Amino acid sequence: MALRDNPASSLTFPRGAGEGIGSTAPASTAHRGAVLHFRSDPGEHDHADSYQYWPDGVLVIREGRVEAVGPAADLLPSLPGTQIIEHRDALILPGFIDT
């Protein structure tokens, strides 16, 4: 699911977030692990369509913005040469903090 065309899903991060001092960040970075993505406020009733969960998912960041999020099997073939950072024992929550 590409997010770059959805203004409501446009998450930004400070320049240099997650980078070491003086490092040159790649144009795109993919974070692989379990991904829980909220599409809307689940409210009191936890509507199933308000979130997406992929036990093996990928979050793609390009120039400090979320470019795509979805199942690893769907996204990885379209990311040749992209740095993949493994988070096998973690839950990735893009946009978890109110932005």
Q: What is the pLDDT of residue 64?
A: 84
Per-residue pLDDT of the chain (99 residues; tens, 9 = 90+): 444 443 443 343 344 444 444 445 558 899 999 999 888 877 766 777 888 999 999 999 998 888 999 999 999 999 999 999 999 999 999 875 554
Sheet with strand 65-71: strands edge to edge = 65-71, 51-62, 28-38, 83-92
Neighbouring C-beta atoms of residue 23, cutoff 10 Å: 9
**How far, in Å, CA of 70 to CA of 80, rounded?**
16
Q: What is the pLDDT of residue 59?
A: 95
**How far, in Å, CA of 96 to CA of 92, rounded?**
9
35 DSSP β-pair partners: 54, 92
Q: What is the pLDDT of residue 95?
A: 73
Q: What is the pLDDT of residue 12?
A: 39
